[in-house]
Amino acid sequence: MNDFEKDVERILITEEEIRARVQEIGNVISKDYNEDNDVVAIGILKGASIFFADLVRAIKIPLIFDFMIVSSYGDSSISSGEVDIKKELEFDVHGKDVILIEDIIDTGITMSCVRKIMAGRGANSVKLAAFLDKPTRRKVDLHIDYLGFTTPDEFLVGYGLDYAEKYRNLPYVGILKREIYE
C-alpha cells in the first residue's frame, strides 16, 4: 500500500465490480438508441472523466464527445438551485440526444440544473448516466436513467472522485477516513 492509499478506510467498490457494471450500463445504453439518434455524450469534468472514458467505450453506437465544468452553489441561500458553468460545451445540443455523464449524485442540485439547461437549449432528449448515487442526501427530485451503484452517505474517493483534488486516480471507490476531512 502506498502512502496515499492509507487515507482510505476501506474499499467500497472494487475494480472488477466497476468494470462489470460499466459494461452492463453500456449494453443498456446501446440498446436504447438507434441510427436515427444523434448522440452527444457530455462528461461533467473533472469527476466523471474516468467513468466517461470507460462508459463511452462500452457504448456500441456512434456518438460525439463534449465536456462541461459546472459547479453548484449547493444549498447556499443566495442562489440555491443554480450552477456556475466554468467550462462551456463546444457544440450546440439543439436537436441532439444528450447523455450527461456524471460521477456522483448527492443533493441532485447540479445535475437537475444541467438537465434543465440542456432541455432549454432544445436538446431532442436528455438522459443522465451517473456512476454513483447517494440517495439519502437528495434535496431535489432527479431521475437517474443509468446508474452504476447506490452508495451509503460516506465521503467517497477514487475512480475520478476527489477530496481536495486528490485520490482521483485510485482505480477503485474507497471510503475516505474521517480524520482526513474532519
160 binds Mg ion (CB under 5 A): no
Dihedral class, residue 176 (left if φ above 0, else alpha if ψ from -120 to 50, else beta): beta
Instruction: Quote the CA–CA distance of 112 and 89 in Å, as a whole number.
Output: 17
Binding mask 82-121 for ligand IMP (x = CB under 6 A): --------------------xxxxxxxxx-----------
Residue 33 or 167 having the CB closest to ligand IMP:
167
Asked about 106 being catalytic, the answer comes back as: yes
Nearer to ligand IMP, 121 or 135 (CB): 135
Q: Report CA 76 to chain centroid distance, whole Å.
A: 22
For residue 2, what is its C-alpha cell? 502506498
How many other C-beta atoms can be found within 10 angstroms of the C-beta atom of residue 116? Answer: 13
Residue span 46-65 as binding mask against ligand IMP, x where in contact by CB under 6 A, dash where not: -x------------------
| Rounded-to-integer distance, Cα 166 and Cα 152, Å | 21
Q: Residues 106, 133, 141, 145: which is the catalytic one?
A: 106
Stretch that binds Mg ion, among 2-10, 44-52, 56-64, 74-82 (CB under 5 A): 44-52
The β-bridge relationship of strands 8-13 and 173-176 is: antiparallel
Stretch that binds Mg ion, among 21-29, 42-50, 117-125, 133-141 (CB under 5 A): 42-50
Q: Give the count of residues interacting with ligand IMP (CB under 6 A).
A: 15
In whole angstroms, how far apart are CA 88 and each of 67, 68, 164? Answer: 8, 5, 23
Strand-pair partners of 68: 44
One character per residue 45-64, x = contact with Mg ion (rule: CB under 5 A): --x-----------------
For the bound state, the minimum distance from the C-beta of residue 61 to ligand IMP, rounded and expressed in Å, comes to 25
Residue among 93, 129, 161, 173 that touches ligand IMP (CB under 6 A): 161
What are the start-end ranges of the H helices in 141-177? Answer: none
The residues annotated with a catalytic role in the active site are 106
